[in-house]
Structure 1
Amino acid sequence: MPNWLLSAAPRAAACDLYCFPHGGGSAAEYLRWSRDLRTARVHAVQLPGRVPRLHEAAPGTMRELVEAFVAEAPLPAGRFVFFGHSLGALFAYEITRALAAAGRPLPARLVVSGFRAPHLPHPVTQIHRLPDDELLDTVARLHGGLPDEVLASAELRGLAASALRADYRILETYVWHAGEPLPVPLTVFGGEDDRITADELEAWSEHTSAGATVRRFPGGHFYLREGPVPVQRALSAALATVRAGERSTTC
């Protein structure tokens, strides 16, 4: 069975929090959150085609990724929350839709970050077709987030370009299909200086029949790195509403 999850140690009475990485991101970044999110057991999602799953082919489309995750990833019968940043928000949303379509247990809350509502037009780009160096330079210019140590190493640049190319291929070939709003509460985060506007974040409310809350934080696209403490506090508060019995599948 493919190893989709890098999981923190179990905690009594803790929510299972599944974190989906941003484009080109790694699972390890979110696993570090477990030190501060004391009411959650963090499960960082590891995508095929990147460390430590380099031997596996990266999915070519959103449908391939969603179908593989739903079929193979171990999810509990209840008591879990999804979080996704940037492209990870779209992954988490589409996986939740697939679970709903299959009659499977749904997350008690869906937390999406740094991504415009999926029904809105997305800029038409072909970043996944660029040569490695141009691809990295373009992503760094648009969003930042590429560590200096990665950019300084030829080997790490190659790995980063491969991961980003796979993720941008999924994003740039993605087509949203209309469907019923999810019966799952939404929490929407974003950076005040990000290219994603307040209106584009507010538009996520159209994708839930269970209510949505929106909060923006100081910083750009990677505001959650620039000021992690208030973000983690807000995420803890979202988890607390689940623990308080917001839905029948409570933590």
Structure 2
Amino acid sequence: MTARVYCFAHAGGSAGEFREWAGLAENVRIAGVERPGRGTRFAEPALTELTALVAEQADSLALDLPFGLFGHSFGALLVFEIAHTLRARGLRTPDWLWVSSFPSPDLARREPDARQLPDADLLRTLHRRHDAIPAEVLDNPELLEIVAAYMRADYTAMETHGFRDREPLPCDLRVLSGADEHDLHDRLAGWEKHVTGAFSMDFLPGGHFYLRDPDNRHHIVQAMNGIWTPGVER
């Protein structure tokens, strides 16, 4: 392996979202990064303050190889802040950032206190917004309570975080989005000012959860395979 790509899921998501990506990788090692309180770290308390969550996630990364960070939705905000944290610590920083389905951080609109809603209302609100919650969760009180706790922790971290302007990051950045996310598209180009390297945007078929389409996953991972391979178009 010549490089690593660390992947961070959407609000309420887990590292399992990226399990299939590893099998598509060739010369990079792709790994989902688990947040406390879910998945393989279910027994740990969830972190609801973004600075603490970013520090914890940054601590978990092996920095022995060149690497990139991929984040979808809330995960995009995490990778942006993790990259800044690594630089502030004087550590190795990512060669690449992939930010998916999330506006430029200075243009992010605060959600109307989604974290304050009762469990069922919280999940139904998010389901209407992103078609994200399976019916079997909404109809099962035990599952609903578990998933709502994941969502509430991440939305609390996101809604209480304030953007802080800093020097651009010394890396390349690619914005990814579902082609149907029309309300988001005009706030994506703003990502360019946050890096000094190459900038590009890629719109793939689908909505907010376009990553769940196997063709889209393959497209993204193949681009990652080419990043650290000389002579391969990325």
Structure 1 length-normalised TM: 0.86
Identify the residue that residue 63 of structure 2 maps to in structure 1: 76
Identify the residue that residue 111 of structure 1 maps to in structure 2: 98
Identify the residue that residue 64 of structure 1 maps to in structure 2: 52
Where 1:197 maps in the other structure, the secondary structure is: helix
Match of 1:25 among 3, 13, 38: 13
Identify the residue that residue 164 of structure 1 maps to in structure 2: 151
Provide the C-alpha distance between the structure 1 equivalents of 2:172 and 2:152, rounded to a whole number of angstroms: 32
Where 2:228 maps in the other structure, the secondary structure is: helix
Question: 1:154–1:39: structure 2 CA closer, same or farther, 3 Å change rule?
Answer: farther
Identify the residue that residue 31 of structure 2 maps to in structure 1: 43
Identity of counterpart residues, as a percentage? Answer: 36
Q: Does the alignment pair 1:198 with 2:179? A: no
Q: Do 1:20 and 1:83's aligned partners in 2 also have CA atoms closer than 8 Å?
A: yes
The letter for the 1-side match of 2:117 is L
Q: Do 2:48 and 2:153's aligned partners in 1 also have CA atoms closer than 8 Å?
A: yes
Identify the residue that residue 236 of structure 1 maps to in structure 2: 222
Counting matched residue pairs gives 232
Unaligned runs of 5+ in 2: none
**Residues 171-220 of structure 1: CA deviation (Å, up to 9, x unaligned):** 11111100000001001100111154322111110110012110111211
**Residues 46-96 of structure 1: CA deviation (Å, up to 9, x unaligned):** 11112332322211211010122223x141223211111000010011000
CA deviation after TM superposition for structure 1 residue 34, in Å: 1.4
* Aligned positions of 1:210-221 closer than 5 A: 210-221=197-208
**Residues 134-169 of structure 1: CA deviation (Å, up to 9, x unaligned):** 000001011122233333332221111000000000
* Aligned positions of 1:82-161 closer than 5 A: 82-161=69-148
Provide the C-alpha distance between the structure 1 equivalents of 2:10 and 2:208, rounded to a whole number of angstroms: 11
Structure with greater helix share of residues: 2
Where 2:39 maps in the other structure, the secondary structure is: coil
Q: Does the alignment pair 1:179 with 2:186? A: no
Unaligned runs of 5+ in 1: 1-12, 247-251
Structure 2 length-normalised TM: 0.92
Provide the C-alpha distance between the structure 1 equivalents of 2:230 and 2:138, rounded to a whole number of angstroms: 44
Identify the residue that residue 3 of structure 1 maps to in structure 2: none
The letter for the 2-side match of 1:167 is D
Provide the C-alpha distance between the structure 1 equivalents of 2:42 and 2:216, rounded to a whole number of angstroms: 34
Where 2:91 maps in the other structure, the secondary structure is: coil
- RMSD of the alignment, in Å? 1.9
